[in-house]
Amino acid sequence: MAIPKVMGTEIEYGITVRGDPDFDPISSCVLLVNAYHEDPTGEILWDYDQENPLADARGFQVDGEKYTPNQQENIARNKTLINGARFYVDHAHPEYSSPEVTNARDLVIHEKAGERILEASRREANALLPEGTQMLLYKNNSDRKGNSYGAHENFLMDRRTPFKQVVEHLLPFFVTRQIYCGAGKVGSENCNQPCDFQISQRADFFETEVALDTMVKRPIINTRDEPHADREKYRRLHVIVGDANLSEYTIYLRTGVTVLVLSMIEDGAIKRSLSLRDPVLAIKEVSHDPTCKREIQLEDGRRLTAVQLQAEYLEMAQQYVGNTDTAETKDILEKWAYVLDCLERDPMELDRQIDWVMKKALIDGFMERKSLGWEASQVHMLDLQYHDLRPDKGLYYILERQGLAERMVTDDEILVAVHKPPEDTRAYFRGECLRRYGSAVFGVNWDSISFSVDEETIKRIQMPEPLRGSKAHVEDLLDRSKTAAELVKNLSL
């Protein structure tokens, strides 16, 4: 029986400072992160001791050195928020890691809360910049200079499932799911075949099938083995192949379908061979065809379109679920089938639901009105403007206000998630500890929290079970513990 899926996302945002000829992305990111003052927490370390980014899921340790910043740099680059999330500087980008959630709808809410937090930080940071300059943020994946940055998804899986089996079934799924997960992009990059418009922002940047790295020779399947949970029970699948999405419908569908497929892999419910002859070539071929009609080569000699291959997964999922699953699972299956039907007929029917179609519809209309071609600089600017995080400038947000983007959640739910963690995972315990005992918190990681109590030795509380630490588990404990010292004492009883 597949384990319950706990999940989250890590989104790296594009950043620039308009009007600054000496723009330094790293210092700008540090300014942005430290400009966020809506949480009452103080100077808290991110606990890098609990991380091991060099462990490979194939069963070995990769050579290299783990970078650990000094205490001052750690505090300057990291904020752990009372909603259970992490907001920090990753290389030259601001990154928001959502708290752990248990379903696709909650992931939409908490990923969208991240957008609100980044925008609030941007406004505060701008007030500190010299006159005539302006910080801008983009939820996209490419800077048009050959650099790509990530939108990573994380799913806990059963460690007993052989990783070879995970790879076999996920490669064709990831190569083709972009037809409803892509964010859309004008042109190509990374020395790939030229095109006018493609489905995915990231597809051009994948160069190998399976590997540990996320920045050089990017793999379709990432092998990082860092579960942030009980290593004997869990594997965290670190998915780097997706785009940064703005459409709530796209985020919901992307997450829900992926959860279904992972559960099917764990339960041995994928019985068909869908292996591709050349997945690295195929991911680009699919992306470069917005008609979704191009066929890709399977290992067994068949040729299928991405829609047809996804339909194979859908049919197996329908058989797997039967009539016994949750309302959300049934909704995911219905939306998956609807989207594939539209993509088969005419992808442009999805101009209210799927990011890349929404963007293409905007650009097509603009080019027709202005009599412009794909090479026009205005078209490239429109492409970027879709991802602008400013509510009054970002084209996605304008569509949303005009009722032209299908919503999955409400603004009120998103605003609550800016300051409150999900209640059914350990993120609740983390967030509530920060809110109640922030001045006593010394360090945090996903699976631990450390307190400095009465100048004694640091007390680290381990949280290896992601579904423990929920409101149902710990609310009474927290209410009985008026101080961090009392909490530590009560936990030891």
Residues annotated catalytic, as ranges: 90
- Number of helices (H), then strands (E), belonging to the chain: the values are 15, 20
- Answer yes or no: are the C-beta atoms of 373 and 380 closer than 8 Å: no
A 10 A CB-CB count for 26 gives: 13
Distant-in-sequence, close-in-space partners of 162: CB < 8 Å, separation ≥ 6 = none
Using CA atoms, how far apart are residues 88 and 80, in angstroms rounded to an integer? 8
C-alpha–C-alpha distance, residues 382 and 3, integer Å: 43
User: Which of 138, 116, 9 shows the shortest CA–CA distance to 409?
Assistant: 116
Structure tokens at 158: 């059963």
**CA distance linking residue 102 with residue 96, whole number of Å:** 18
Name the CA radius of gyration of the chain, rounded. Answer: 22
Say how many C-beta atoms besides its own lie within 10 A of residue 165's C-beta.
13
Closest CA to 170 of 92, 46, 265, 260: 265
Three-state secondary-structure class, residue 114: helix
* Alpha-carbon span 279 to 209, nearest angstrom: 7
**Nearest in space to 216 (alpha carbons), one of 240, 250, 249:** 240
SS3 state of residue 38: coil
Q: How many whole angstroms from its chain centre is CA 95? A: 10
DSSP 493: -
Tokens 């309302």 belong to 327
